[in-house]
Structure 1
Amino acid sequence: MPLLRTSLLSAEPSGVLESLDELFALAHAMEQEAADKYDSLAKEMRVQGKDDLAEVFTHLAAAEREHMDSVTQWSQSRRGKRPDPAMVRWEAPEALAPDAAAEVKTSRLMTPYRALAIAVRNEERAFAFWSYLAAYSHDPEVKKASEAMAKEELGHVATLRKERRRAYHREHERSNVETALPQIDAPRLERRLVAQLGDMEQRLSGPAAVRIRDLRQQTVEMADAAAGVGSFAASMERKGPLEIAEALVDGYLDGAERSNDAAHLESLQQLAERAISRLAWLRSLAMD
């Protein structure tokens, strides 16, 4: 199963889910672990006197507990009972990578922006995990529920990216020089990404090449759908595919936040969702 041998997942999941009961148990356990780790980091930050970071991690822990409640309600709705921890057969990806937790605790350069960036990456890993399980599940109900979990994680990514962007703007003043640079729109940047994905496809084989081909076709469609959207520094065209893909995510989210037109807002939200999914896949696909 090489499709998600990844930079997001340190190892492939140990198997597939056999039932909805097992899925709900695993989802609940993952959210519980994330909440506990964020709570622990919040306490550590308070001990170190870093109240701004403590507030960020307290907020993240609260969000994870809300996700736990959602899973519980879903389980009760579908199965008539709460998730059963005994149904968890194998370990899910860690909610917070050990190196990330160590960085939070020891880095003197840690800021709310960087803390939220770590949280974004964690949600992207969760998306990759549920996407993997959806792809390889044999049970139609489990496959559908795993797809729903993956979609839910994309929503979490979008929310955290917005918060991360706000934190960035609080920490940095936008440079007048940057805004004076030549600009390009989203369709042009999407077309540049199309070319890069074509190059990547030539270097890959098997499932990874198939996935890149699919992403390339989606990107062609997104270039058409993004007409008149976005403003990016022209120098972004010289960046790599991951940087371009991430810039496009932020561009669509920014546009959606500022839009006052319902139809335009819906279009931007759809573009943002597809762009977030694309970015997560690009990060997770094997590149060697």
Structure 2
Amino acid sequence: MRSEPLLAIEPPAPVRNIGELYSIALTLTERAAQRYGKLAAASDEAFAPVRRVFEALSQREEERAEAIEKACIAAIGRAPAQADLRWMPMELVLAEELSDIENSLLSAAYGAWALAVRHRERAFIFWTYIAARADIGIVRTAAESMAREALRDGNLLRRERRLAWRAERRDALAGDAPGATELSSAALLESLLLKDIFRWSQDAPAPQRRHLLSLIGDGSQMSEANDALPRAEAFDEIKRRALRRAEQLSSIYLDEADKAVDPSRLELAQQLAAHSIARLADLRTIASTPE
């Protein structure tokens, strides 16, 4: 998500009539409502702040779908139909982007609003393409109207994004935000993560134990530290905490790479990020393996 263009491919052909235009618009909107709705239905209590964002986004898309149907009926006397489509619209709300939000242990409202802004920016570019390639005046006018709507909607979503950022910043300054860790404390976080991985390995089945220990060497240097850890601690909580810390470290190193100006500092941050991302992938694989 850091470097690819917002719209990976252009619409494959001009829109030939207003019925086709509204069918494309309805298809895109119904997809967005469905994908936002899936995250709005997530039951994990820790996901609640993000879930509320997707509840609002899902409702917005449902209202947009109703408005599109009404506009189409007013224009041609009927609702949009799949038969009007000559080509299937490309994805504007990408499933993999939403999956990143859903599976992240660091997901927050700011990230959800930021993703929604990105989706409306993508919609704006899409509709400007449609308008520019339209041969029929009524299609061009309607597409330009949809582009302006996407632009206005994006501005509203940016406001929500700013409010979420300020709220999360206040929490971070108060020490309440789990993502408040800075690069200066990455070494401590690495140490805590290694202890979590070792503790995780002690109660894991043999194949998983070997995989976990391979991430920290043979683990012998952790034995003494492990004696001080509370044995009554829930196994699932240890796994969840390890995954969270591994994700925090990946985020820290990626942010540092983004900000780095000095070439040597950039190279170091990229190396740390690559190692941390690979470790996170391994931990997620182990966590999802049946015991």
TM-score (structure 1 length as normaliser): 0.56
Please give the secondary structure, in 1, of the residue aligned with 2:15: coil
Please report how far the alpha carbon of residue 54 of structure 1 lies from its aligned counterpart in structure 2 after TM superposition.
1.1
Does the aligned pair in 2 maintain the 1:75–1:81 contact within 8 Å?
A: yes
Q: Distance in 1 between matches of 2:72 and 2:136?
A: 17
Q: What is the identity, as a one-letter code, of the residue corresponding to 2:27? A: A
Q: What is the identity, as a one-letter code, of the residue corresponding to 2:31? A: E
Does the aligned pair in 1 maintain the 2:47–2:107 contact within 8 Å?
A: no
Point out the structure with max Rg over C-alpha.
Answer: 2
Tell me whether 93-102 or 10-19 shows the greater mean CA deviation. 93-102
Match of 1:97?
94
Higher relative contact order (CA 8 A, sep 6+): 1
Match of 1:24?
22
1:142 to 139, 142, 146: 139
Please show how residues 71-90 of structure 1 align to structure 2 within 5 Å: 71-90=68-87
Please show how residues 120-159 of structure 1 align to structure 2 within 5 Å: 120-159=117-156
Please report how far the alpha carbon of residue 49 of structure 1 lies from its aligned counterpart in structure 2 after TM superposition.
4.1
Please show how residues 1-288 of structure 1 align to structure 2 within 5 Å: 7-44=5-42, 46-47=43-44, 49-173=46-170
Note closer, same or farther for the CA distance 1:36–1:175 as it changes in structure 2 (3 Å cut).
closer
Q: Distance in 2 between matches of 1:107 and 1:49?
A: 11
Please report how far the alpha carbon of residue 47 of structure 1 lies from its aligned counterpart in structure 2 after TM superposition.
3.8
Does the aligned pair in 2 maintain the 1:38–1:61 contact within 8 Å?
A: yes
Tell me whether 27-36 or 47-56 shows the greater mean CA deviation. 47-56
Does the aligned pair in 2 maintain the 1:93–1:129 contact within 8 Å?
A: no
Q: What is the identity, as a one-letter code, of the residue corresponding to 2:69? A: T
Q: What is the identity, as a one-letter code, of the residue corresponding to 2:129? A: Y
Q: Distance in 2 between matches of 1:87 and 1:73?
A: 16
Does the aligned pair in 1 maintain the 2:110–2:161 contact within 8 Å?
A: yes
Q: What is the identity, as a one-letter code, of the residue corresponding to 1:91? A: M
Please report how far the alpha carbon of residue 48 of structure 1 lies from its aligned counterpart in structure 2 after TM superposition.
6.0
Please report how far the alpha carbon of residue 175 of structure 1 lies from its aligned counterpart in structure 2 after TM superposition.
11
Q: What is the identity, as a one-letter code, of the residue corresponding to 2:24? A: L
Gaps of 5+ in 1: 1-5, 177-238, 240-288
Please report how far the alpha carbon of residue 43 of structure 1 lies from its aligned counterpart in structure 2 after TM superposition.
2.0
Instruction: Report Cα offsets for 1:191-210 as digits up to 9, x if no partner.
Output: xxxxxxxxxxxxxxxxxxxx
Gaps of 5+ in 2: 174-258, 260-291
Note closer, same or farther for the CA distance 1:114–1:73 as it changes in structure 2 (3 Å cut).
same
Please give the secondary structure, in 2, of the residue aligned with 1:17: coil
Instruction: Report Cα offsets for 1:161-197 as digits up to 9, x if no partner.
Output: 1111111111113999xxxxxxxxxxxxxxxxxxxxx
RMSD of Structure 2 on Structure 1 (CA): 2.1
Q: What is the identity, as a one-letter code, of the residue corresponding to 1:123? A: R
Identity %: 32
Please report how far the alpha carbon of residue 111 of structure 1 lies from its aligned counterpart in structure 2 after TM superposition.
0.5
Match of 1:200?
none
Q: What is the identity, as a one-letter code, of the residue corresponding to 1:25? A: S
Q: Distance in 2 between matches of 1:149 and 1:129?
A: 10
Please report how far the alpha carbon of residue 89 of structure 1 lies from its aligned counterpart in structure 2 after TM superposition.
2.1
Please report how far the alpha carbon of residue 93 of structure 1 lies from its aligned counterpart in structure 2 after TM superposition.
2.7
Instruction: Report Cα offsets for 1:236-272 as digits up to 9, x if no partner.
Output: xxx9xxxxxxxxxxxxxxxxxxxxxxxxxxxxxxxxx
Tell me whether 90-99 or 156-165 shows the greater mean CA deviation. 90-99
Q: What is the identity, as a one-letter code, of the residue corresponding to 1:117? A: A
Please give the secondary structure, in 2, of the residue aligned with 1:50: helix
Aligned length: 171
Q: Distance in 2 between matches of 1:95 and 1:175?
A: 32
Please report how far the alpha carbon of residue 141 of structure 1 lies from its aligned counterpart in structure 2 after TM superposition.
1.1
